[in-house]
């Protein structure tokens, strides 16, 4: 896939630097969400996760590829981002999609949790600030309860069970 951004820059989906950015933001997002709303990870486990995920980025042709949390942070800090009109439009759609009334409450909680994970600078640029006490006192406990309920209702993922059997050293979560 190739194209031209609204500001005139050309881009290509196979650009190693663009692949690095996509990979880094994905890994950072999953890591941040699991640490905040899941069972949590030690610093060593987080580094291990980033290193294991690096294999995926390398296979897709990303370069450079972070292999530790520190390297991941450095890669993310190297990209000067700003919220364009298109980013704000996409955010608005993701926060308020056309959903049945019965799904809106749960979706709103998950959307609030996603916004709360964004750096404050990104929240401000996207015009989405979560009030300071709402996240820790409302969104976080409610999201943890939702995910705990889902884990209980659905049971352990077969993929996670296979990973536990292979490694024998992953903490429950």
96 and 158 part of one domain: yes
Whether residue 130 is contained in a domain is answered as yes
Residue 137 lies in a domain: yes
Radius of gyration of the chain (CA): 18
94 CB neighbour count, 10 Å cutoff: 12
Q: Kindly tell me if the per-residue pLDDT of 127 is higher than 80.
A: yes
Residues 69 and 91 in one domain: no
Residue 15 structure tokens: 């650009």
Using one digit for the tens of pLDDT, what is the confidence trace for 83-97? Answer: 888 889 999 999 999
Claim to verify: residue 39 and residue 107 sit in the same structural domain: no
Q: Note whether residue 64 is domain-resident.
A: yes
In tens, the pLDDT along 70-79 reads: 999 999 999 8
Give the end of a domain, one of 32, 48, 77.
77
What DSSP string describes 44-108?
Answer: HHHHHHHHHHHHHHHHHT-SS---SHHHHHHHHHTS-----HHHHHHHHHHHS----HHHHHHHH
Question: 33: domain range?
Answer: 10-77
| Same domain as 159, residue 117 | yes
Q: What is the pTM of this model?
A: 0.80
Q: What is the pLDDT of residues 28-42, one digit of tens each?
A: 999 999 999 888 789
Structural domain ending residue among the three candidates 46, 77, 108: 77
Report if residue 142 sits inside a domain.
Answer: yes
Contact status, residue 69 vs residue 45, Cβ threshold 8 Å: no
40-56: pLDDT as tens digits: 789 999 999 999 999 99
Number of domains in the chain: 2
Closest CA to 126 of 79, 92, 165, 164: 92
Q: How far is 132 from 118, CA to CA, in rounded Å?
A: 13
What is the structure's pLDDT at 169? 58
- Asked if residue 134 belongs to a domain, the reply is yes
Whether 111 maps to a domain, the answer reads: yes
Residue 24 confidence (pLDDT) above 90: yes
Contacting residues for 147 by C-beta, under 8 A, at least 6 apart: 37, 38
pLDDT of 171 above 70: no
Which of 48, 77, 106 is where one domain is finished?
A: 77
């Amino acid at each position: 896939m190739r194209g031209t951004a609204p500001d005139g820059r050309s881009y290509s989906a196979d650009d190693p630097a663009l692949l690095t950015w996509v990979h880094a933001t994905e890994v950072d997002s999953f890591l941040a969400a699991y640490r905040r709303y899941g069972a949590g990870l030690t610093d060593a486990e987080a580094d291990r996760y980033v290193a294991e995920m690096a294999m995926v980025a390398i296979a897709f042709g990303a370069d450079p590829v972070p292999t530790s949390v520190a390297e991941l942070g450095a890669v993310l800090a190297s990209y000067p981002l700003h919220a364009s009109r298109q980013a704000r439009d996409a955010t608005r759609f993701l926060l308020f999609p056309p959903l049945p009334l019965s799904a809106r409450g749960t979706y709103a909680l998950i959307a609030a949790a996603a916004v709360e994970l964004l750096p404050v600078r990104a929240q401000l640029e996207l015009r989405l600030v979560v009030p300071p006490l709402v996240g820790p006192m409302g969104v976080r406990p409610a999201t943890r309860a939702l995910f705990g309920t889902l884990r209980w209702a659905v049971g352990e993922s077969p993929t996670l069970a296979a990973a536990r059997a292979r490694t024998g050293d992953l903490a429950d979560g």
